[in-house]
Chains A and B, each alone.
Chain A
Amino acid sequence: MLELLEALLFSTLDAAPALIFAALGGVLSERAGVVNVGVEGQMRAGAFCAAVAALFMPTPLGVVLGMLAGAGLAAIHGYLSIRWRSDQVVSGMAINLVALAGGTFLLESLYSPNGTPAIEQLPRWTLPLIHGVPLLGALSEHSGMTYLALVLPFVFHAVLTHTPIGLRLRAVGEKPHAVATLGLSVQGLRWGAVLGGGLLAGLGGAVLSTAVLDRFEQHTPAGLGFMALAAMVFGRWTPLGAFGAASFFAFGNALRIGLASSAPGILEFIPQGFLLALPYLLTLILLAVQGQRSSAPAALGTPYEQESR
């Protein structure tokens, strides 16, 4: 039993970081008031570039390039939605479609339709003290990304609640005009948040292809970006909430996979489809029960215009 739980925890910790990073990217962008439905596309770009780069250079460098790729797509989103105030949902969806088809095209023309060649995965760290300890041992033998994913939400939370820049970010997502009358740059803050969100989503994608798998596959990230959005909403647009939701969703997923291989009998009673739909169903139920206004940033999705009077 304990072993089973440990295995479950282990696979959760392996799979969760991608979801956590992407959800945090969504939180960062949306807390500043810019809708980010392009997380899926940014993840795909990050995953692809990281895998391709890792063919030529050390994998960690590839991960950095993956992050930059995510930020690159986010920059397009930012240019259209901040600079030109076009519809944030449209440009986000456009990014998704371009990344989906563009990834397939590049993959096919550079390698094979199914995936890139295998790369060297990010190294896994053996934690000396707890390695082999029952249950706690699940914490060992992960890539650095897992540990980063366990720390980053708290850092993000601290920055958002306890630093000047965090205060300004929160303010700009709630009431940009108040920020502008104090002589701060609304555009600058939003640009920062969108690019930061792209870096994080790119990192989430890079983790998929360099730590979870050892290559970029045709369908990566296969909807994980949308699950990250669900985690963001379920976590009420807070870093710790999104972290909790993403971890919970990842655990559910690990449980499903675990059950499928070790106890398929249970899945006769609880079909896999239910477990897969759970993150989205829970998010919908939460929204239905408490409405959206209570937690979403007030200025989310509204382009900022300087002369609005």
Chain B
Amino acid sequence: MSLEIRAGELLALVGENGAGKSSLMNVLYGLYHPDEGDILLDGQPVRFKSPRDAIARGIGMVHQHFMLVPTLTVAENVVLGREPTRWGRLDLERACAEVTATCQRFGFQLDPRARVDTLTVGSQQKVEIVKALHRGAKVLILDEPTAVLTPQEAEDLFRVARGLKEQGHTVVFISHKLREVLSVAERIAVMRRGALVAEVKAAETHVAELANLMVGESRPGQGTVEPYQPPTGEVLLEALALKALGEDGRAVLDGVTLTVHAGEIVGIAGVDGNGQRELAEVITGLRPLAEGQGTLLNRPLSALSPDEARRRGVSHVPEDRLRRAVVKDMSVEENMALGRQGHPPFARGPWLDFAGRRERTQKLLGAYDVRPPDPLLPVQALSGGNQQKVVVARELDSQPKLLVVVQPTRGLDISAVAQVHARLREERARGVGVLLISLDLEEVLTMSDRVYVLFEGKVTGTFTRPEFDEREIGRRMTCAEPAHG
């Protein structure tokens, strides 16, 4: 793929998750190395061995997760590594003056003496930008810069970006928030599946067209489109105005209302980081509910523990496999027992039942075609796809009433994906309610009977299968509009 970035422009790079935006920019910043192809800077081919080379050539990057030392002041963070000195002593006065000068030049308002951990997220981001500018960056790459910002802070950031452009800097936004992109960028490059699919002028396009380019033309439904029947099974999960807080105290779920019936697959569509993960955590008892109420399998949703959720019949295929789904140093059969370690056939009274465990594990390894089918292997010795098969096998084997699956097919090859999907449909046929959370819109649409769209912790749309419209859903995923479905 090729992309041209011109001096003094505001470029946006948009695309779905996994489209390759961040990889591309990490190549530009010297963090990854290209297998093929060249980077030309001012017409000259360059090779960046490390971020250091990129910095030297005037490229600055603001990572999504800030690279700031929280206990140091703004000025200390900015000058770190190229500190002004006087008689060998760190010249904080000059550092502050320099930082203030840089701030003034670009229209920032920052107190250089403030400790970074006392600043708001928006200000911390500005510190990151000042850090790059202070090192002489002419090209500034911002990776998902508004993901952590309030709308006001985002607006402020755009103002800054325009100011930078006026002074001849180039700013590259990586984003999937189309509305914001349209309001700030001049040129928009759209990526899909590792390739550049379009370059458009912001003035000549609109959200719907961009969303369309991003997710691809509406594809005809794959295979036979199943007929849709409104859910008739009992209500397994009824959530009313759920609110949950993230680690930084901000609301990550903000008034989510949804229901899951027995015998249906409910999909959650949304771009990464809009509250899907937290929704799964609340329902499985891993994250406390801040506000709101609901019933889960006939009992209240509040004060739910992971243990209690499992006892009620909730199974969970989490997203972060190696951290949350398996204990990677334990064997396959031990991982099979995880979550059910106290029940037959994995235990008899207080004792583990090795024979029963082995037998059940071997049965499941066979049924799910896990390779190699060795129950004694540590789970981390398996490939990612086979690890996932172990997890899915375990969670389905416990005969759940409600199944919460997050990104169940990430990293799996095609046949494994088909297998997982078939299993989920089987569960539905058995009368299990499935809550499917995936960043892959195609997966959500092919699997689900109903879809809720999440954006910034709120439900921005609900669709039933006959109403599925990729474009409309894509729009709801990328901008907040009141739901009218």
Which positions in A face B, CB cutoff 8 Å?
A: 162-164, 166-168, 170-171, 174-175, 177-179, 181-184, 298
Contacts and interface: CB of A to CB of B under 8 A. Distances in A.
A298 B117 CA distance: 13
B31 to A, nearest CB: 9
B81 A182 contact: yes
Q: 7 shortest A-B CB distances, which residue pairs?
A: A183-B52, A164-B83, A182-B81, A178-B67, A171-B69, A175-B69, A181-B67
Interface residues of B, number: 21
A171 B80 contact: yes
B72 A174 contact: yes
Contact of A175 (B67, B85, B89, B92): B67
Contacts of A177: 67
A162 B90 contact: yes
B113 to A, nearest CB: 14
Contact of A174 (B71, B83, B85, B90): B71
A163 B89 contact: yes
A106 to B, nearest CB: 40
Nearest to A183: B52
Given A183-B81, A184-B81, A178 B69 contact: yes
A177 B52 CA distance: 13
A177 B66 CA distance: 10
Given A162-B89, A163-B88, A163-B90, A182 B80 contact: yes
B81 A170 contact: no
Contacts of B92: 162
A181 B92 CA distance: 22
Nearest to A307: B31
Given A167-B76, A167-B90, A170-B72, 18 more contacts: A162-B89, A163-B89, A164-B90, A166-B90, A167-B80, A168-B81, A170-B69, A171-B80, A174-B69, A175-B68, A175-B69, A178-B68, A178-B69, A181-B51, A181-B67, A182-B80, A183-B50, A183-B55
A181 B51 CA distance: 6
Contacts, number: 57
> Main secondary structure on chain A at its contact with chain B?
helix
Interface of B: 50-52, 55, 63, 67-72, 76-77, 80-81, 83, 85, 88-90, 92
Contacts of B63: 181
Count chain A CB atoms within 10 A of each CB in B67, B71, B80 and give the residue with the most. Answer: B80
B55 A170 contact: no
Nearest to A184: B81
B90 A183 contact: no
A179 B83 CA distance: 13
A168 B90 contact: no
B141 to A, nearest CB: 13
Contacts of A163: 85, 88-90
A175 B51 CA distance: 17
A279 B63 CA distance: 44
19 contacts: A162-B89, A162-B92, A163-B89, A163-B90, A164-B83, A167-B72, A174-B69, A174-B71, A174-B72, A175-B70, A177-B67, A178-B68, A178-B77, A179-B80, A182-B55, A183-B50, A183-B52, A183-B55, A184-B80
A183 B298 CA distance: 56
A184 B81 CA distance: 7
Contacts of A181: 51, 63, 67
A80 to B, nearest CB: 21
A239 to B, nearest CB: 16
B71 A170 contact: yes
A298 B83 contact: no
A141 B107 CA distance: 61
Contacts of B52: 183
Given A174-B69, A298-B71, A164 B76 contact: no
Nearest to A175: B69
Contacts of B76: 167, 171
